[in-house]
Structure 1
Amino acid sequence: MVVLSQAAIFLRRAWRDGKEMGLSEDRLRSGFKTGVISALGPSVAVLAGMLALIATIGGPVAWMRLSVIGSVAFELPAAELGVSQFGYSLGDPNISQRAYATAVWAMTLGGTGWLLVAAFGTRHMEKAREKISNGNEKLIPIISSAAMLGAFAYFLSGEATAGTPETGSIAVGGLVMLALLRLADSRDIQWIREWALGGAMLVGLVVGTALQLTVGSWW
């Protein structure tokens, strides 16, 4: 209920601010639909991470960390780091109480950083954005795109060389994304643009799973 309430508040605020910025109803609906579709791909990854965490730290803690507080990109490595201090890995049966507690503390303490930044830094983001752009509004889309590319590159850098399934998943997913966007631009098909990210992530997930089950990891 907390997550749904937050989503409803953010949606209402975004819709109101969009109208104040002069966006039409059609553009607002298109943005909303694109956001919903784009959320499907990451939700599959969160579900897979949830299953991995449940096997080690149980359902309640896994649900709390991945549905309200944390991110699957952080929670899995943090839990793995915690249990590895005692010679265990995620999914190992009969881990010790100290390994379990260490994993939970690693996730909890490690996740406080972005909570503090969001709580105390959000109000200053607009001033930081204006200072970075130096008053040039044309730089805002470029800076935003660069930040997004940097975030994706950061998350992919560790996975790209982690093994054959990971490398194949990233490569195929990226190629599918480019192909779908090129097809959408050449034929001006809006729904392909909306489904491009979710479709590319789903194809990459399937390819990575298939490689893991067939050839395994070559490095």
Structure 2
Amino acid sequence: MRSTSLRIICARSASGWRDVRRQSMNNDYNEIANSPIMWLAAAPALCFVFIQAWLFFRKSVKTAAETGIPATAVKRAIRGASIASIGPCFMMLSGILTLMLYVGAPMAWMRVDFIGSVADALMEAAFTADGMGIRLGEDRLTVDYLCAAAIVMTTCGLPFLLFVSFFADRMDKVNHVMSGGKTHLIPIIGSGALIGSFGALTMNAGYPLGANTVAIIVSALSMAAILLYNRRHNLQWLKEWGLTLCMVAGMGAAVLYN
């Protein structure tokens, strides 16, 4: 009887030690993934994106002044764009928090700053884990996984950064070719491209029917209601906050559905 009890106690102690060891190794992984070295490695890419955004902003303001756009209109556009980005930023932030659990804060911020698609970044992290036989959220993550994820996520995000850097100033030629020299078709083509790209993303998330479908329907109805209402009242604040309000309405409806 005593020997049986002793074996049970030893087994429990060994199991507890393994749990502690596993947790300790997870802590080691988190320390490496969020270490100052990782921040230093991600810093050049982050700085490059910030500098790029500043150059685009300065060029836009300069071009607006050269084309005779009033300064008040420029300020209004800057304010409206800043407010309209609040909703998407919240979505990105929620995704970054999830991504940080797998690859750490430096890698998560760097990858999302490249393109801003949290879904792509999470997919890349999941594909890397699948290729290494790791189940995210269940298995213990290793430094080997961190290295592989860094290579995959950086490689997938780099083309976006390079394309903007080398071809952004040549987009007028692309627009000229696509519109056949008819400048009045450029806004129509641009709007069609936006509708097609976001429509494809929406339809992919809308099926099978569920919370995503509810979020899409509620957001679309909210947007239609805001546009119809604002045609009569022309409220500037509603133009600026409309996108954020629609996203919040869709997310709230999805939560209530679940």
TM-score range, shorter chain: 0.7 to 0.9
Pairwise CA distance, 1:145: 0.8
Q: CA RMSD of the aligned region, Å?
A: 2.2
Q: Which residue of 1 aligns with 2:177?
A: 131
Shift of 1:126: 0.9
Counterpart amino acid of residue 139 in structure 1: L
Q: Secondary structure at the match of 1:138?
A: helix
18-27 vs 123-132, which moves further: 18-27
Instruction: Give the drift of 1:182.
Output: 0.9
Structure 2 unaligned residues grouped into runs of 5+: 1-45
Match of 1:174 among 220, 230, 234: 220
**Cα 1:84/1:208, change in 2 over 3 Å:** farther
Q: How does 1:179-218 map to 2 (within 5 A)?
A: 179-211=225-257, 214=258
Task: Note the C-alpha offset of 1:92.
Answer: 3.4
Distance 1:90 1:176, change over 3 A: farther
Give the equivalent residue in structure 1 for 2:56.
10
Structure 1: gaps (5+ residues): 215-219
Aligned to 1:217: none
Aligned to 1:23: 69
Deviation of 1:69 after TM superposition, in Å, equals: 6.0
Q: Do the aligned partners of residues 101 and 206 (structure 1) sit closer, same or farther apart at CA in structure 2, a change above 3 Å counting?
A: farther
The correspondence for 2:125, drawn from 74, 79, 85, is: 79
Contact kept in structure 1, 2:206 and 2:212, CA below 8 Å: yes
Deviation track 1:151-178 (CA, whole Å, cap 9, x = no partner) reads 2113223211155121111111111111
TM-score, scaled to structure 1: 0.85
* Structure that is richer in helix per residue: 2
Contact conserved, 1:53 with 1:90, CA < 8 A, in 2?
Answer: no
Cα deviation for residue 198 of structure 1 reads 1.5
Counterpart for residue 98 of structure 2: 52
Q: Could you say which residue in structure 1 is the equivalent of 2:8?
A: none
Moved more, 95-104 or 199-208: 95-104
Equivalent of residue 140 in structure 1, options 159, 175, 186: 186
